[in-house]
Amino acid sequence: MWDNPRILNTAASTLVALVAAAILYTGLQLLLRSPLFPLREVVVQGALRQASRGDIEQAMGRIEGNFFAADLAVVRARLEQVPWVRRVELRRIWPDRVEVRLEEHVALARWGDAGLVNVHGERFRGRSRDADEARLPRFAGPAGAEAEVTRRYRRFAELLAPLGETPERVILTPRHAWQLRLASGLQLELGRDGADKVDERLARFVATYPRTLGRLPQQPNGEPRHVDLRYPNGFALRVPEWKG
């Protein structure tokens, strides 16, 4: 064995590699524990409209370790628990700073009786100021349908724009039928997608509105009119004061 140069060279290379790895590991441990590289500053960037600086500082807590040892994944996880925080990015800035970049949720609608939906169609925890929240439309639907309801809301708003109307409430029922309540109080039953698409029914209603429902006088008692669009060639109107 000792007369074999190949075995000797392999053993020597292995020994050198083990020594180098031990030196590297020891140096890394010393670097991570060294007081020579303290973390002196944490800078939070990003406009905060709903979450307060106090909320952020409390969630962040005390960051353990020096510049190299600070566990930024732990800090990120803490900050993501703040209700209005959507996304967190952290990076080390040499020699002694950590930069925290926050993105807040932008509320688009209320979801059911509790919770909010952001402009990306994501449901999140958070309570807006009462006056702001009251102006938001209301969405409802099965769990996991937030993105679809958001997408349809935008499409419905686009189709209703020629009438000067906006959806005040968008509901996707458990049977996946769509219902709208407009800002004027008009209630629309759109039904489900099939051979005749929901968007097509709404577009047809908007096109015929000026010469049909638009000609009717306003209701003196303010009760909402209910329009059923689940017909292939028209719609049905129910007015509370019309009986018989």
pTM beyond 0.85: no
Encode pLDDT of 168-225 as tens digits.
Answer: 999 999 999 999 999 988 999 999 988 779 999 999 999 998 888 777 766 655 566 8
Encode pLDDT of 1-57 as tens digits.
Answer: 555 566 545 655 665 565 555 555 454 444 445 556 677 888 888 888 888 888 898
Q: Where are the domains of the chain?
A: 41-104, 107-238
Give the homologous superfamily in CATH for domain 41-104. membrane protein fhac (3.10.20.310)
* Number of residues that make up the chain: 244
pLDDT at 75: 92
* pLDDT exceeds 90 at position 152: yes
One CATH from 3.40.50.11690, 3.20.20.120, 3.40.50.2300, 3.30.70.920 for 107-238: 3.40.50.11690
Q: Which amino acid is at 205?
A: F
Higher pLDDT, 194 or 160: 160
